[in-house]
Amino acid sequence: MRRRKTAVAAGCCLAFLLGTLLNLLFIPGSEHPPPPSEELPPSPPGAPLYPPEEEIGGGQAALARQIRERYEEVLRYRQHRAAAAGRRPLRPRERRLMDLAPPRTSAEQPGPRGRAAAGPWAGASAELSLEPPLLGCRDIRDVSGVQYLGSGYTKAVYKAVLNRTLAVALKAVDFGGHDIAHCVRQFSSLGDCYRLAAYKIVKEMILLQRLRHANVLQLYGYCYQDSNDIPDTLTTITELGSPLEMIQLLQTSWEDRFRICLSLVRLLHYLAHSPLGSVTLLDFRPRQFVIVDGELKVTDLDDASVEESSCTSNSDCFMEFPARNFTLPCSVEGRCQSMNEKRNLYNAYRFFFTYLLPHSAPPSLRPLLDKIVNATGELHWGIDETAAQLERVLNLYKSGEYLQNTTRVPKAEYRRVPEAHIPDENYRCWPSYHHKGCLLSVFDVNEAIEICDSYSQCKAFVLTNQTTWTGRQLVFFKMASNHIVPDPDKITYVKVTD
């Protein structure tokens, strides 16, 4: 950790930063080619490529079991594709699926290494049909602007600029992280502990590729490279976001907070109907999401699951949260009905809706927003209904219909000055899109008048040609109109009576 922060602070020396990054991500400087994926044939059932437990003593057997479980989980996600493709036999390329197999012991490693393009798990490279064309190892050799972004239990994430043009996130196992430290303490095998942790990234990579949606972070590519001691360490290259800061979000406009909730609901709607089945995010803390251009996107998918709990009675379908518990019905097929969807929804309620949705919303939308918050907090609605209600709020807001119930009698008179701007005379208001002035979004000029009427400080306002994500116009509210200058893109309104 200290090493990472020191490197980032040094900032000025690109070579040093790059060297440090490679070191931290265990991307070797060497061009040592990983084993050819062709040399890792599909293992027949009962002949796994990891050491059989009975041949290993005590702790090592437990570690081998954990690696096997993660490996099998990864296979399940990949096999979903074959199932979706009509259960046709796997073509040779697809059979490289077994490239995902846990590593052989050194004694089992096949002879000379033949191909530089793919690692042992990187048969994935042939299978992940990423568009635009996949980024790979050669692309992360020439990186600049390396910056540590964050880390969790298992992974560390860095920002990097590729070819001085594309800013991306690079994700790799954090060798200084809790997961590796805990495993090495227990099993004393860095190589195997690395594999165990790296399966989380492999799983995430497969899910990022399978779950294509505007609110799922985009996977650009990946790189397998040997480190000094560990072969074929994995780095994924993804879209860059900024970490979701709840405190910061609480200070933004309702419109922007609503956007976060709407993107979350669109994501959960997609996950409930995904090609893999209903996906639940077992770890649903805000830090699992990032913001990209104002939209929320899920980035951490290593704890996602498609298994719906099996049950024999309703009592098996118990969902426990810190402040509430729920018992869902057990279906005749012996599955807890909509459990994945409902878990996501309640988490969305407790981490997002309750803080972000009603607070400082337009008064006429409050009853509907309160209804949404209550219905999700009680799990009365499923995701389809919740998504429909949030889309309804969006429509009411975008169309200006939410203003129609309010009586709009202007108190003051205003003089319209076309092609004019007031550059100074700012005052601060909350929540403003500008940190020094009062910049708010409005549906139309009448709403701007209403806002100006309600602020005693407001003596004028300037309609800009900028709009927000909903298409509403941004307006600067001013405390005086002494200095008006020509500006073809703006219209000024000056209060003539109070």
Ligand X SMILES: Nc1ncnc2c1ncn2[C@@H]1O[C@H](COP(=O)(O)OP(=O)(O)OP(=O)(O)O)[C@@H](O)[C@H]1O
Rounded to whole angstroms, the Cα distance separating 179 from 495 reads: 63
Residues 174 and 154 sit within 8 Å (Cβ to Cβ)? yes
CB atoms within 10 A of CB 166: 15
Among 152, 277, 382, 400, binds ligand X (CB under 6 A): 152
Among 27, 101, 124, 240, binds ligand X (CB under 6 A): 240
SS3 state of residue 202: helix
Rounded to whole angstroms, the Cα distance separating 195 from 180 reads: 10
Residue 238 touches ligand X, criterion: CB under 6 A: yes
Residue 157 touches ligand X, criterion: CB under 6 A: yes
Choose one: 299-307, 310-318, 335-343, 487-495; the region binding ligand X (CB under 6 A). 299-307
Per-residue exposure over 87-98, b if at least 16 CB sit within 10 Å of its own CB, e if not: eeeeeeebebbb
Rounded to whole angstroms, the Cα distance separating 396 from 398 reads: 6
Choose one: 146-154, 222-230, 314-322, 340-348; the region binding ligand X (CB under 6 A). 146-154
Q: Which is nearer to ligand X, 27 or 290 (CB)?
A: 290
Residue 295 touches ligand X, criterion: CB under 6 A: no
**Smallest gap, in angstroms, from Cβ of residue 238 to ligand X?**
5
Provide the greatest CA pair distance for the chain.
Answer: 90
Q: Element (H or E) spanning 440, and its range?
A: strand 438-442
Choose one: 78-86, 139-147, 286-294, 418-426; the region binding ligand X (CB under 6 A). 286-294
CA neighbours closer than 13 Å in the CB half-sphere of residue 98: 17
With a CB cutoff of 8 Å and minimum separation 6, the contacts of 12 are: none
Residue 453 touches ligand X, criterion: CB under 6 A: no
Among 40, 169, 230, 372, binds ligand X (CB under 6 A): 169
Among 154, 236, 432, 481, binds ligand X (CB under 6 A): 154
Residue 286 touches ligand X, criterion: CB under 6 A: no
Q: Which is nearer to ligand X, 156 or 361 (CB)?
A: 156
Q: How many residues does the chain have?
A: 498
Q: Which is nearer to ligand X, 197 or 438 (CB)?
A: 197
Rounded to whole angstroms, the Cα distance separating 106 from 231 reads: 11
Question: 498 is written with which tokens?
Answer: 């109070």
Residue 277 touches ligand X, criterion: CB under 6 A: no
**Smallest gap, in angstroms, from Cβ of residue 162 to ligand X?**
14
Mask for 242-261, x = binds ligand X (CB under 6 A): -x------------------
Among 76, 113, 115, 287, binds ligand X (CB under 6 A): 287
SS3 state of residue 233: strand
Residues 372 and 390 sit within 8 Å (Cβ to Cβ)? yes
**Smallest gap, in angstroms, from Cβ of residue 413 to ligand X?**
50
Among 137, 219, 290, 417, binds ligand X (CB under 6 A): 290
Among 100, 196, 211, 217, binds ligand X (CB under 6 A): 217
Question: In which residue are the tokens 């949404």 written?
Answer: 372
Rounded to whole angstroms, the Cα distance separating 391 from 259 reads: 11
Among 38, 39, 73, 283, binds ligand X (CB under 6 A): 283
> Given phi > 0 = left and psi -120 to 50 = alpha, else beta, which region is 300?
beta
Subset of residues 384 to 403 that bind ligand X, contact rule: CB under 6 A: none
Residue 237 touches ligand X, criterion: CB under 6 A: no
Question: CB nearest ligand X: which residue?
Answer: 152
Size of the residue set binding ligand X (CB under 6 A): 22
- Which residues are identified as catalytic? 283
Residue 153 touches ligand X, criterion: CB under 6 A: yes
Q: Which is nearer to ligand X, 248 or 310 (CB)?
A: 248
Among 4, 68, 155, 490, binds ligand X (CB under 6 A): 155
Q: Element (H or E) spanning 234, and its range?
A: strand 233-239
Rounded to whole angstroms, the Cα distance separating 378 from 266 reads: 20
Amino acid letter, residue 268: L
Amino acid letter, residue 364: S
Q: Which is nearer to ligand X, 69 or 489 (CB)?
A: 69
Rounded to whole angstroms, the Cα distance separating 402 from 371 reads: 16
Q: Which is nearer to ligand X, 182 or 366 (CB)?
A: 182
Rounded to whole angstroms, the Cα distance separating 290 from 428 reads: 29
Among 302, 308, 341, 447, binds ligand X (CB under 6 A): 302
- Which residues form the interface with ligand X (CB under 6 A)? 149-155, 157, 169, 217, 238-241, 243, 283, 287-288, 290, 299-300, 302
